[in-house]
Structure formats: C-alpha cells, structure tokens
C-alpha cells in the first residue's frame, strides 16, 4: 500500500478508562433550562397569577374550601405546564446532543466517527478541511494545514500549522476551524483542561431568532391581553355598581380576565416545535433551528447534490480508458496499461481519505487486480487540494533521494491542459469522456510524471507538465426510492433541482433516471446549465433561465450561492443541501439549509438549519411532509384555543355587564384550563396528517398562521357555542332555576362543548370515521380524564360545594350533555360552509 504515517490509536478499553478518568470532552454550558427556571416562567404567567390572587381572596374571606380547591387546581395546572416544558426541553437537549460536533479518530486500528464529547487524551485524531478541532491536539503530520483561530485569538487570518513543532505552530486548539489541508494529531487535553477551557470560555446556548410563527402568536397574545384588561375593568366597575361589593366585583373581574387571556399559546408553540423536531428526527433529520420547521411547508424549490443524496454514495470504478479512445470494463482482466492507470490514480489519493471516489480507486488498487505495488513511494511531500479554480488534486511523493513522483486526477477539462497531448488527441479524449458520462459514469482524468528533487515545485498545480495516463469511469447507483420521492415533490408543488460538479452528460443521465428531468423534455433547452455558462450570465439572464432548468453541472461550491439567490429573487422558498466548507454561504442564504450528516463538514452543519443524518433525499421529502403536518395541526390548535375562549369569556363577563350573579368562578376557569392546555398541546400535535397533504401546493410564507379566514371561522364557532349557552341560560332564568342549578347545567354544557370543539377542529379535513379507524389516543385520554373530573365535581359533596354546584337529576345531566353535543352538528355545518 501507499506508505504514510500510521501512529497507533487507543484501544477501546483505553478510551473507556480515560473517559472515566478525565470526564466528557465538553465545556460548561450557560443558559441551560432547569426545573427552577421553568417554575419561574410558569409563575410569570398572567392566568397563574390571577388564580393565585383569587385563591388568596378566598382565604382572606375565610372560604377555606374554595381556597383549597383552587390551590389544588393551581398546583395541577402548574404541574401540567412544567411537565410539558420539561418534556420539550429534554427532547431538544437529546436532539442537540445528536447535532453536536463530531470527531474522526483512530481506535483499535480502525477509523471511526464519534461524538466530540467522547474524545479523550491520547486519541489519534484525523483533521480535514471544514472540521472543528475537537480538543487540544499536537500535530504529528500535516499537508498544507491552515487553521482559523479567530474564536480563540480574535485573529481572522488563517494560520499555517506544522508537524513536529513544540510551540503553538505545532498545536491545534479546541474550537479552531480547519480551512485548508489535512492533518493527523494526538489529543493532549480535553474539556476544561484545554486552552479554551482554561480561559473560562463556556459553551453558550444558541438562541434562535424569533420566527414568523413566534411573532404572529406574540401579536395574538398581546391583542387578547389588552382586550382582557379592558373587559375585566369594565366587569369590575359594573359589578361593583350593581352589588356594591368590591370583593365580589374583584372576583368577577379576575374571572373575566382569566377567561380571555390565551396563555396556552406559548405552551402550545413550545410543545409543537419540540415534539415536531423529535418527530422529524425519526426520519433521520435533525433540527438545529426551530424556525426551519415552520418554513418546511413553504418550500417551493429543493436544490440537492447528486452524490450521496440522490445516489448511494457507493462509488465503484467500472470503466477505464488508457488511450482516450477504447473503454474497457474493470470486471474483465486488466491489461498492464490499465493496472498502471489504477496505480497512478491511487498515488493521487490520500490513504486516510473518506471520500467515496478515492475509496473506490483505492479499493480497486488493493483488491488483487495485479496493480503495480509502488514500494519505493513514501510519504506525500506536498498535496495540492481541490479548489474552486481548479477541479483536480495532485500529490507529490518522494520516490528516492533524487526523484519525486507527481500524480494528478480530476475533471478532464482541468487535467488535460497539463498533459503532453496534441490538440487533436485532447479533443478525442474529451469525446471519450463525454461518451462515458452519457452512460452515467463520473469521469476522472489521471496524469503522472517524475520530478527532480532539485527542481522547485510550482505554486499552482495547473503549472505542472505531466504524462496522460487515461480516464477512469466511476458509477454511483441511484438510491432505490428516489424516483418515487421526486414524483411526490412534484405532486406537492415542489421543484427539485440537481446541482453537481459532474460532467453535464453524467448529470443529465442521472437526472433522467431519477425523474428530475422528464424524458420527453430532454430535447427542450436549456436542460443543463454549466458552471462556465453560469459565470458568463448576468443576474437577469440567469433569472430568465432558472425556471426551465433543473440540472446544473460542473458547478463550483461558490456558485451555489448565486443559484439560491436567483431562485429567491423569483419569489421561491429555497431548501438547499450542502456538505463542504464552501457550501456554508449558500446554506446560510437558503430559506432552509440542509447539511449532510455523514459526509458534511462541521462548518456546513453549523451553517445549516437541518442536518440529514443518513444523507438520503427521501428523508428530506418526509421531513417536508412532517413540516406541513406540524403547521397544519398548529393552526387547528390555535383555532381551538381562540374558539373555546369565546364562550368561557362570555359566560364569565356578561353576567357582570347586566348586574347578575356570576355564572363562572375562578375554580371553573382553572378546570377549563386543565382541558385546554393538554388538548391544545398533545391532541393536535399527535394527530396524523391528511391523506392529501402532499397533493396540496406549498403554503404562502407571507400568510399569518391566524389568517383572517381562520380567525373569523374560530370567532363564529365560539359565538355559536356562546349563543347556545346563553339561550339555555335565558330559558332557565325565565323558569326561575336556582343559581347553583343553572351554573351546574351550563358548566356541563360548556365542558362538553369544549370536547366537541376539539373533535370538530381535529376532523376539519377528514371524515369522522377516521377517529374510529385511527383513534387519537391523546384525545381519548383527555376526554376520559375530563369526564371523570366533571363527575367527581358534580357528585362528590365537598367538591360540589367547592364548585358551587347543585345536585342534579340524571335527566337534567343528560340534557346538559345533549346541549353540548348539539353544538357538534352546528359546528360541522360551519366548517363545511367556511
């Protein structure tokens, strides 16, 4: 094999012992959510504070039972909120751990990708361009290795590092970013023992900027809060004037305010975002920024890489051409020239590389095909990396004391100008490369030359003059369900655009197989835009062509940003995949940046909103569907909260307007809150998506979640329930029902109507039979618990007294239930009409 530095890594047992001894490789984190912090946030809720004030008033007045029952409901309500928040925090913490930085180490003579927190002193770490240094590392070997140390020193200019140095130039510090080259080093310190940890820097909690959802709901809460304050003051004034009892008037005002303030919105939003991120993770997609969840349903263009996303990322060398004319199959016996071609290509690879293309070449080189063993070749003297300006890589290796070997591989149009070919031969080689590309191969040209040790190496690899070795054709099979997933995107109004660095013919062949480009549209132009063509276009020309182009080939990473911005200028919501350092600007600019989990660099992951753990395109499509489902269910939850607060607020406030005895008391509002909170959070969050969800067009991103239509429909539903309850109350007043009996019957109908509203909104886009075929477990549990608590409040004497209820005949109990369920028919009609 090609020789290189191979220092020994730790064994698994050694690593385990050192992890116990030195602890996890992590810094203390600030801003973590604790039980105490969650409790403080709950105590800040206006409804919670109003409940406490009401309980205190009861206690001062000597109504110990009322105060005790209300205190129990306060404690239960607070517990539900704390449990919901802690559950959301635990989900987000677990997802954050999965999305944390990783490290590439050598353990037990095997290369492994592990969580950075599991790195221990003595670990052998492999660093490549785009990696965050996971710990303090002493470098053992380097190839043009540059670090961005601005996080530690504030200096923005990358610093070159060297192996074998005892000073800072031979050490890579925790948190620094590899911007060029690669290196191998030994970990000398982790966690708080690193230089980063010693100077007292902490791993701060990343705070997402507020998204449109959060802003929309914030405005809705503020609107209701102002309304609640005004209504409560009016109720207090009218009630005091009517009864001349400031305590009763104060309780009436507090009850009216509690009925109007929709404090559930914040809890529902937190729960939906946290559980939504967890549900999306079940499709192998990690959410780094919660705002991405709300934007998923608006995506209209999905820009994806070919390699590893649409394909399996399992490269195989299947075709060779040593003379640039004839193409041979690698499954046949290889000629001497073919074996030398594979050897030369292997010399241009790095043994530690995890790049699928290089691994395919090295696998063929080492599989016993008779390739020449370069026993004299030793360590790489200099490596020229792939760049946006030159699509090739070159390794310079020492052959002996007087001679070096130069091996280059890359895009044919980049390598051929560096070779000793006539213009006619070069054209023939390019034609052969195009023929191979049309068969779906990724084509690389290979060249080699000897170089004298005394001769200076050029600064740029394009300045080499080499001997042409031949062409290599690699195939990467399409993932099994890609055509089906792309067809689903098209049905959902999402346009899939393939961006690749491959030859245009290769890109077109794969795009046809995947279904990105329809077979009958291949004759229409433009089908493929190349990087060179893109470079010549003005922004206006690009905007004219992007609407009829779904394939971009020979695209350099820095050109992806321009493509994304062009689609955005045309009004599209763009989702973009990327994995390299140079992809980060495009990932940041995209409305939804998606980094690759397996092959993505730390820089790409940090810039992205989502991380695709399995690098599979079908997971992106499932995440988009889940994003649409989350938004749809959140709209239903908000509609339910707005709807149910209207009859609650009406029954709490209207008696005070007319100088009548109150119907609802604080204990009744506390009871209703215990229904609204879990129903809004768990029932709607766990609801399955509609069957036609991916047959609908993307949502308009400018549309507020509580659109005018949704708000009017919710208001109409709530007013319908309120009018029905008020008519029943009026009838009971006409027949001189006792106040306690009236309150009991109306509260039964109100609770029943609340469950009806939950069900009607849940079945907004599906028939009722679906609840039988696929029952919502959360709805069943909450309904059962609600009915059970209501029965206890009505039939347990001391609870009945605390709720100010009266004993009821079974017939009246059933009549109150019937009134609540009568609202189901009316509300279904409203849903169908609006």
Q: Which residues are catalytic?
A: 305
Give the dihedral sign, CA 341/345/348/349.
Answer: negative
Written as six digits, the tokens of 560 are 């992806």
Question: Which among 395, 301, 384 is positioned nearest to 348, based on CA atoms?
Answer: 395
- CA 519, 524, 527 angle in degrees (round to 5)? 80
HSE-CB for 517 with a 13 A CA cutoff: 26
Contacts for 531 with CB less than 8 Å, ≥ 6 apart: 552, 553, 554, 555, 556, 559
Separation between Cα atoms, residue 340 and residue 323, nearest integer Å: 12
Distances (CA, A) of 423 to 407, 412, 414, 428, 827: 22, 14, 14, 9, 79
542 close to 534: Cβ distance less than 8 angstroms: yes
Separation between Cα atoms, residue 133 and residue 101, nearest integer Å: 9
623 close to 283: Cβ distance less than 8 angstroms: yes
Report the phi/psi class of residue 724: left, alpha or beta, with left for phi > 0 and alpha for psi in -120 to 50.
alpha
The helix/strand count (H/E) of the chain reads as: 30, 24
467 close to 528: Cβ distance less than 8 angstroms: no
Contacts for 180 with CB less than 8 Å, ≥ 6 apart: 129, 144, 145, 146, 158, 385
118 close to 134: Cβ distance less than 8 angstroms: no
477 close to 529: Cβ distance less than 8 angstroms: no
Cβ-defined contacts of 595-602 (< 8 Å, 24+): 596/305, 596/308, 596/309, 597/284, 597/286, 598/308, 598/313, 599/308, 599/313, 599/354, 599/356, 601/128, 601/129, 601/130, 601/131, 602/101, 602/102, 602/130, 602/131, 602/132, 602/177
Separation between Cα atoms, residue 621 and residue 485, nearest integer Å: 7
Written as six digits, the tokens of 486 are 């792309």
Distances (CA, A) of 100 to 202, 494, 597, 776, 784: 15, 30, 11, 34, 41
HSE-CB for 602 with a 13 A CA cutoff: 22
Separation between Cα atoms, residue 236 and residue 253, nearest integer Å: 5
Crossing angle of helices 617-657 and 264-281, in 10° steps, is 170
Separation between Cα atoms, residue 54 and residue 67, nearest integer Å: 8
Please give the full DSSP string across 236-259, using - where no structure is assigned: HHHHHHHH--HHHHHHHHHHHHHH
3 state SS for 175-200: CCEEEEEEEEEEEEECHHHCHHHHCC
- Please give the backbone phi and psi of residue 384, each rounded to the nearest 5 degrees, phi first: -100, 120
Separation between Cα atoms, residue 178 and residue 182, nearest integer Å: 8
Distances (CA, A) of 404 to 6, 350, 375, 449, 756: 21, 16, 14, 9, 82
Distances (CA, A) of 769 to 763, 774, 784, 832: 9, 9, 19, 16
551 close to 508: Cβ distance less than 8 angstroms: yes
Written as six digits, the tokens of 48 are 């919670």
Separation between Cα atoms, residue 394 and residue 104, nearest integer Å: 23
Separation between Cα atoms, residue 302 and residue 482, nearest integer Å: 14
Separation between Cα atoms, residue 774 and residue 509, nearest integer Å: 43
- The Cα diameter of the chain in Å comes to 114
């Amino acid at each position: 094999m090609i020789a290189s530095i191979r220092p020994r890594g730790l064994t698994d047992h050694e690593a385990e012992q050192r992890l116990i001894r030195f602890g996890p490789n992590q810094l203390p984190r600030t801003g973590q959510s604790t039980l105490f912090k969650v409790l403080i946030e709950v105590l800040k809720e206006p409804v919670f504070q109003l409940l406490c004030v009401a309980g205190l008033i009861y206690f001062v007045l000597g109504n110990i039972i009322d105060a005790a029952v209300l205190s129990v409901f306060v404690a239960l309500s607070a517990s539900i909120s704390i449990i919901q928040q802690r559950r959301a925090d635990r989900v987000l913490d677990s997802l954050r751990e999965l999305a944390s930085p990783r490290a590439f180490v050598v353990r037990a003579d095997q290369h492994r990708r592990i969580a950075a927190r599991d790195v221990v002193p003595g670990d052998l770490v492999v660093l490549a361009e785009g990696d965050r240094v996971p710990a303090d590392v002493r470098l053992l070997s380097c190839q043009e290795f540059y670090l961005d140390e601005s996080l530690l020193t504030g200096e923005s200019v990358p610093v070159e590092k060297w192996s074998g140095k005892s000073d800072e130039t031979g050490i890579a510090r925790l948190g620094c970013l590899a911007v060029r080259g690669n290196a191998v080093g030994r970990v000398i310190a982790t966690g708080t023992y690193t230089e980063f940890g010693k100077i007292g820097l902490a791993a701060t909690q990343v705070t997402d900027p507020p998204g449109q959802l959060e802003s929309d709901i914030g405005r809705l809460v503020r609107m209701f809060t102002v309304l609640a304050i005004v209504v409560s003051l009016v109720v207090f004034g009218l009630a005091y004037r009517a009864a001349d009892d400031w305590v009763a008037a104060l309780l009436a005002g507090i009850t009216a305010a509690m009925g109007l303030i929709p404090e559930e919105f914040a809890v529902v939003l937190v729960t939906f975002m946290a559980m939504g991120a967890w549900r999306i993770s079940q499709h192998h997609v990690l959410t780094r920024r919660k705002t991405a969840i709300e934007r998923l349903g608006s995506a209209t263009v999905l820009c994806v890489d070919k390699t590893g996303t649409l394909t399996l990322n399992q490269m195989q060398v299947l075709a060779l051409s040593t003379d640039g004319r004839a193409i041979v199959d690698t499954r046949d016996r290889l000629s001497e020239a073919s074996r030398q071609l594979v050897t030369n290509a292997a010399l241009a690879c790095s043994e530690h590389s995890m790049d699928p293309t290089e691994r395919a070449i090295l696998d063929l080189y080492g599989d016993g095909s008779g390739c020449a063993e370069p026993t004299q070749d030793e360590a790489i003297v200099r490596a020229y990396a792939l760049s946006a300006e030159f699509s090739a890589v070159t390794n310079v290796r020492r052959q002996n004391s007087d001679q070096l070997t130069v091996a280059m591989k890359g895009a044919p149009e980049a390598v051929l100008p560096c070779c000793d070919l006539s213009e006619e031969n070069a054209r023939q080689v390019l034609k052969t490369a195009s023929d191979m590309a049309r068969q779906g191969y990724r084509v690389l040209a290979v060249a080699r030359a000897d170089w004298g040790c005394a001769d200076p190496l050029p600064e740029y690899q394009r300045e080499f003059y080499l001997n042409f070795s031949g062409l290599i054709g690699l195939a990467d099979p399409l993932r099994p369900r890609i055509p089906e997933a792309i067809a689903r995107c098209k049905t959902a109004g999402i346009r899939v655009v393939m961006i690749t660095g491959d030859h245009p013919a290769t890109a077109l062949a794969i795009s046809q197989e995947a279904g990105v480009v329809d077979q009958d549209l291949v004759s229409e132009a433009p089908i493929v835009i190349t990087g060179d063509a893109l470079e010549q276009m003005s922004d206006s020309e690009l905007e004219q062509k992007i609407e009829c182009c779904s394939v971009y080939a020979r695209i350099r990473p820095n050109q992806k940003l321009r493509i994304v911005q062009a689609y955005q200028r045309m009004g599209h919501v763009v989702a973009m995949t990327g994995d390299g350092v140079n992809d980060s600007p495009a990932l940041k600019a995209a409305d939804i940046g998606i980094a690759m989990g397996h092959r993505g660099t730390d820089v790409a992951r940090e810039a992205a909103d989502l991380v695709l753990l399995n690098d599979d395109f079908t997971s992106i499509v499932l995440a988009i569907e889940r994003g649409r489902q989350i938004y749809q269910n959140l709209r239903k939850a908000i509609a339910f909260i707005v709807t149910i607060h209207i009859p609650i607020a009406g029954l709490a406030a209207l008696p005070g307007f007319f100088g009548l005895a109150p119907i609802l008391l604080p204990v009744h509002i506390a009871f209703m809150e215990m229904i609204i909170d879990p129903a809004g959070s768990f029932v709607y969050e766990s609801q399955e998506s509609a069957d036609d969800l991916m047959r609908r067009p993307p949502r308009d991103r400018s549309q507020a979640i509580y659109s005018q239509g949704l708000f009017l429909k919710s208001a109409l539903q709530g007013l319908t329930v309120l009018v029905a309850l008020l008519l029943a109350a009026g009838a009971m007043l006409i027949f001189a029902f006792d106040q306690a009996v009236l309150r009991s019957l109306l509260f039964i109908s109100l609770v029943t109507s609340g469950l009806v509203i939950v069900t009607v909104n849940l079945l907004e886009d599906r028939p009722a039979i679906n609840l039988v075929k696929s029952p919502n477990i959360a709805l069943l549990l909450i309904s059962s618990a609600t009915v059970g608590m209501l029965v206890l409040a009505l039939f347990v004497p001391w609870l009945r007294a605390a709720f100010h209820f009266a004993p009821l005949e079974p017939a009246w109990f059933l009549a109150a239930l019937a009134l609540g369920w009568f609202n189901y028919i009316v509300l279904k009609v409203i849903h169908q009409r609006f």
